[in-house]
């Protein structure tokens, strides 16, 4: 897979610039030149969203990143082909990570910090890592590094638990539950969701985490809610944006939606349509992961 990405990046470079990078020729001269003209950039990478209301999450991240690193160019890329195609139909052009990086290469950036806006280091994060490795292997930039998703270390888990506890709906009574909707994945990193639930429940036993595509699923969490005779739950997306999954799978009226599944089990549902990145405490964790990359570039926050 690594070679596939590398080949893709090389082919892309050839297509965009009409020349393949040759690491053997002119490297010293090139390095001297870039040392003189250092150009640092940040690339924020999310799955993307076509929901206009979800844009507020991305605006928060952009505002916080720009405030933390004034004078540094901040760019966006969306990993989802489907979302980018949808947006293109509306006249909005969003780059994939590979195209955004090729563009930054063309604009003579020397140091690029790629920040993942994923929740866990699952399949999509690793795909992004392959793209970054490809550009790294090309020797295209002097430095290119990738920042952690929301949940990567135990420190992230603890910060996320407290940030989540801080933003739970104020009107909620102690015998009412909160069910967070994670995306879920076949990737082994899916285990983060159950681990997060364990740690959240140490603080508040009525917070649950379920996923759309992984473990635990909503059927399992439904049985836990019924066991505890919970009558009312607040549904919240555990994703950077409140996009399609939140709108349809969580709060939609279709038979499979979590709202429908739980309502049919006699549990009242109150969806909260806010992406995690809309909350300062959570957005700060993602943006905080840019810091160690900047430190690698010799730039203190
Ligand atoms: Co999905």
Closest CA to 191 of 224, 214, 208, 218: 214
Average pLDDT score over the chain: 90
Q: Please provide residue 139's backbone torsions phi and psi, each rounded to the nearest 5 degrees.
A: 70, 25
Instruction: List pLDDT tens digits, range 96-125.
Output: 999 999 999 999 999 999 999 999 999 999
CA torsion angle for 238, 254, 125, 165 (degrees, to 10)?
0
User: How confident is the model at residue 27, as a pLDDT?
Assistant: 60
Catalytic residue status for 186: no
The Å distance, Cα 255 to ligand 1 centre, comes to 18
3-class SS letters over 217-277: CHHHHHHHHHHCCCCEEEEEECCCCCCHHHHHHHCCCCCCCHHHHHHHCCCEEEECCCCHH
Instruction: List pLDDT tens digits, range 23-37.
Output: 444 566 555 554 558
Class in CATH terms, 168-275: alpha beta
User: How confident is the model at residue 147, as a pLDDT?
Assistant: 98
The Å distance, Cα 245 to ligand 1 centre, comes to 7
Q: Tell me if 6-149+281-296 shares its fold with 168-275.
A: yes
The Å distance, Cα 139 to ligand 1 centre, comes to 33
In this model, does residue 63 exceed pLDDT 80?
A: yes
Instruction: List pLDDT tens digits, range 176-232.
Output: 999 999 999 999 999 999 999 999 999 999 999 999 999 999 999 999 999 999 999
- For residues 26 and 77, the model is more confident at 77
Class in CATH terms, 6-149+281-296: alpha beta
In this model, does residue 77 exceed pLDDT 60?
A: yes
Q: What is the mean pLDDT of residues 39-67?
A: 91
Hey, where are the domains in the chain?
Answer: 6-149+281-296, 168-275
Q: What is the mean pLDDT of residues 268-285?
A: 97
């Amino acid at each position: 897979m690594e070679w596939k990405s590398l080949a893709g990046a090389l082919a892309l470079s050839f297509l965009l610039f009409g020349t393949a990078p040759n690491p053997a020729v002119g490297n010293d001269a090139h390095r001297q030149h870039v040392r003189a003209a250092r150009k640092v950039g940040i690339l924020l990478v999310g799955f993307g969203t076509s929901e206009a209301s979800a844009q507020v999450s991305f605006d928060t991240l952009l505002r916080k990143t720009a405030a933390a690193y004034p004078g540094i160019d901040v760019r966006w890329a969306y990993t989802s082909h489907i979302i980018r195609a949808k947006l293109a139909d509306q006249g909005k052009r969003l780059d994939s990570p590979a195209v955004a990086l090729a563009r930054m290469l063309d604009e003579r950036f020397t140091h690029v910090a790629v920040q993942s806006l994923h929740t866990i280091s699952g399949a999509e994060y690793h795909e992004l890592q392959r793209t970054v490795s490809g550009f790294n292997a090309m020797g295209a930039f002097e430095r290119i590094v990738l920042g952690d998703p929301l949940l990567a270390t135990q420190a992230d888990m603890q910060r996320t638990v407290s940030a989540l506890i801080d933003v739970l709906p104020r009107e909620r009574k102690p015998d009412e539950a909160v069910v967070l909707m994670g995306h879920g994945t076949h990737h082994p990193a899916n285990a983060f969701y159950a681990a997060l639930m364990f740690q959240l429940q140490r603080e508040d036993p009525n917070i649950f985490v379920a996923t759309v595509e992984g473990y635990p699923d909503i059927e399992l969490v439904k049985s836990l809610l019924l066991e505890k005779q919970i009558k009312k739950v607040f549904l919240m997306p555990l994703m950077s944006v409140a996009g399609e999954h939140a709108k349809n799978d969580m709060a939609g009226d279709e038979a499979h939606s979590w709202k429908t599944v739980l309502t049919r089990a006699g549990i009242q549902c109150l969806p909260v349509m806010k992406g995690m990145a809309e909350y300062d405490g959570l957005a700060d964790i993602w943006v905080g992961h840019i810091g160690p990359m900047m430190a690698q570039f010799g730039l203190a926050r």
